[in-house]
Amino acid sequence: MVTTGTTVTDVAVFNGTDLLDGRYNVSIGESTITAISPADTAPPPGPTVDGAGATLLPGLLDAHVHFSGPDELSTLARFGVTTALDMGTWPPTLVATLRTAGQGTDIRSSGAPLAGVGGPHSRIPGFPAENLVATPEQARRCVAQQAAEGVDYSKLVLERPGAGGPPAWTPRPLRVEAAHAAGLRVVAHASHTGAVALGLQAGVDVLTHAPLDAVLHEDLVRAITDTELIVVPTLIMMRGSAHNLGNPALSYDHARNTVTALHRAGATIIAGTDANNAPGVPAAVPHGSSLHDELDLLVEAGLSPRQALRSATSVPATAFALHDRGRIRPGLRADLLLVTGDPVSDVSAARQIRSVWTAGRAVDVVAQNDRTDTDGANSHSHRSRSDHVAHRCPAEESTRGSWMQRISTSKTSPGPAGAFSNRSTGSAAIRTILPRSFPPARRGP
């Protein structure tokens, strides 16, 4: 549904960087923001949405997700996540379907990641064999193929040295030089401190995950800030993984304290969740709600609410050259999130979702709370899924066998389709909206 001419009136504005002084009328055109004017001026003709008591934010970006189907786009949008950066989805036909879905969240994608032939990722069922590379020539061929398919950046899985990933000498010739030659940024999975060091040596652009094995050494922290490497720590995934793995050597405290150290040192930190719905892998993180959990965890690690909100709006937009979004400014995409209260003071207010627009389209955000109101299924399923561990992109150093063992013994819960079912938009009216917000993920069972 197109909402040409809608104006959100008398609203506080977090523009992606700061909370503006005063209150504003923000007008939404066919796909872009058309005007921002003081609230005491008359809004242009057309429908209005009352923004009293609310804050308008840029739509949120989740800088680390995986997809199993197009329904996840609608789920993300209902939680205000209007852009998602896919960090490993295959086959290419599924990615193409997601790109052209025409509704819900807008994506960018790495396609399938590249990995070494001997690490845990190589044993993920269905992992594309052509993405397991052992020679520079294989890597060049793979990157060229992916560039031709239209990937937006490259994803490289780095294991700790000796764990079967690409050997220490390989990342640069295997991946980084080939990807940069094709004009692609390189995002490296690095969930172990040894893998972080490897990523630095290799010259990657973005590190994702925060290690569980130890707090990052101050030399590595300094190297990350000196080289302006971007970090997407996926704390919600690391917390779930640490909890479910039950290995005393792997602690969520290490991940959180690493983020604290990076933040204090001035590193660029971006919000990402590792949301996925893949069976049989390290931690199942639900799409959409998990980004709000990640914002909570970033604040707990030392970012201010304003810095956390920047990490999910203007900062990833700049880092991934998405210059048409991530901020509220005339001419930019009308990807917008209207919430009750002031998330710049208390980031949990971002959960109090009233309305969401993706490129000017109003999202039907009612569906996510329908079941909460009737039988509590929403909050129950949401919580149990976030405690449950399984993932396509293993955040631990164990073997496939032990993931499968853990998964087979863990309690199961219905997938997000049950809790946040996709509901078609029946009316052109803007829906106003959630009777109550959704709860944070539970820490443990």
Which residue number, 73 or 284, has a Cβ lying nearer to Zn ion? 284
**Sign for the pseudo-dihedral over CA of 380, 59, 87, 147:** positive
Query: Which helix or strand (DSSP H or E) is residue 61 part of?
Result: strand 60-65
Number of residues forming the site for Zn ion (CB under 5 A): 3
In whole angstroms, give the CA distance from residue 383 to residue 242: 16
User: Which window, 127-135, 137-145, 273-281, 413-421, contacts Zn ion (CB under 5 A)?
Assistant: 273-281
Burial of 284 (0-12, 13-18, 19+ CB in 10 A): buried
Residue 32 C-beta: closest distance to Zn ion, Å: 31
Stretch of residues binding Zn ion (CB under 5 A), selected from 67-75, 324-332, 354-362, 389-397: 389-397
Residue 260 to residue 436: CA distance in whole angstroms: 32
Residues from 72 through 111 that contact Zn ion (CB under 5 A): 87
CB of 393 vs Zn ion, minimal distance in Å: 3
Is residue 350 within the footprint of Zn ion (CB under 5 A)?
Answer: no
CB of 118 to Zn ion, least distance (A): 19
Handedness of CA 68, 295, 251, 114 (dihedral sign): positive
Sequence-distant (6+) residues with CB within 8 A of 390 are 276, 278, 279, 280, 281, 282, 283, 284, 403, 407, 410
> Which runs of consecutive H residues, i.e. helices, occur in 215-284?
218-226, 235-245, 252-265
Residue 393 interacting with Zn ion (CB under 5 A)? yes
Task: Provide the minimum distance between the beta carbon of 66 and Zn ion in the complex, in angstroms, as a whole number.
Answer: 6
Distance set, CA 74 to CA 81, 89, 150, 416 (Å): 9, 17, 23, 12
CB of 202 to Zn ion, least distance (A): 18
Separation CA 296–CA 82 (nearest Å): 19
Upstream peptide bond of 286 is cis (omega within 30 degrees of 0): no
Of 177, 254, 190, the closest CA to residue 217 belongs to 254
- Of 188 and 328, nearer to Zn ion (C-beta) is 188
Select 84 or 334, whichever has its Cβ closest to Zn ion: 84
CB of 274 vs Zn ion, minimal distance in Å: 4
Q: Is the dihedral of CA 176, 178, 182, 187 positive or negative?
A: negative
Q: Which stretch binds Zn ion (CB under 5 A): 38-46, 161-169, 271-279, 400-408?
A: 271-279
The interface region with Zn ion, picked from 218-226, 246-254, 269-277, 436-444 by CB under 5 A, is 269-277
If the CB atoms of residues 57 and 87 are measured against Zn ion, the closer one turns out to be: 87
For residue 156, state whether it binds Zn ion (rule: CB under 5 A). Answer: no
Tokens encoding 410: 């863990």
CB nearer Zn ion, residue 12 or residue 87: 87
The contacts of residue 226 (CB under 8 Å, 6+ apart) are: none
Closer by beta carbon to Zn ion, 16 or else 282: 282
Nearer of residues 12 and 393 to Zn ion, judged by Cβ: 393
Does 143 contact Zn ion by CB under 5 A?
no
Between 159 and 274, whose beta carbon lies closer to Zn ion? 274
How distant is the alpha carbon of residue 145 from its chain centre? 25
Smallest distance, Zn ion to C-beta of residue 110, A: 10
Nearest distance from C-beta of residue 159 to Zn ion, angstroms: 14
Cβ contact 182:143 at 8 Å: yes
Using the minimum distance from each CB to Zn ion, give the nearer residue, 19 or 65: 65
- Do residues 119 and 161 touch, judged by C-beta distance below 8 A? no
| Interface region with Zn ion, contact rule CB under 5 A, candidates 263-271, 332-340, 370-378, 390-398 | 390-398
Q: How far is the CB of 276 from Zn ion (least distance, A)?
A: 7
Site residues for Zn ion, 280-309, by CB under 5 A, read: none
Least CB distance to Zn ion at residue 87 (A): 5
Q: Minimum CB separation from Zn ion for residue 262, in Å?
A: 19
Q: Which one, 10 or 274, has the nearer CB to Zn ion?
A: 274
Sketch the per residue contact string, 17 through 36, with Zn ion: x for CB under 5 A, - otherwise. --------------------
**282 vs 440, beta carbon nearer Zn ion:** 282
List, as one string, the DSSP characters of 14-49.
Answer: B-SSSBPSS-EEEEE-SSBEEEEEETTSPPPSS-EE
What b-and-e string marks burial along 79-104, b requiring 16 or more CB atoms within 10 Å of the CB? bbbbbbbbbbbbebebbeebeebebb
Minimum gap (Å) between residue 139 Cβ and Zn ion: 20
d(CA 206, CA 231): 6
Q: Does 274 bind Zn ion (CB under 5 A)?
A: yes
Quote the tokens at residue 386: 């976030």
User: Which one, 87 or 142, has the nearer CB to Zn ion?
Assistant: 87
Which residue has its beta carbon closest to Zn ion? Answer: 393
Chain residues in the site for Zn ion (CB under 5 A) = 87, 274, 393
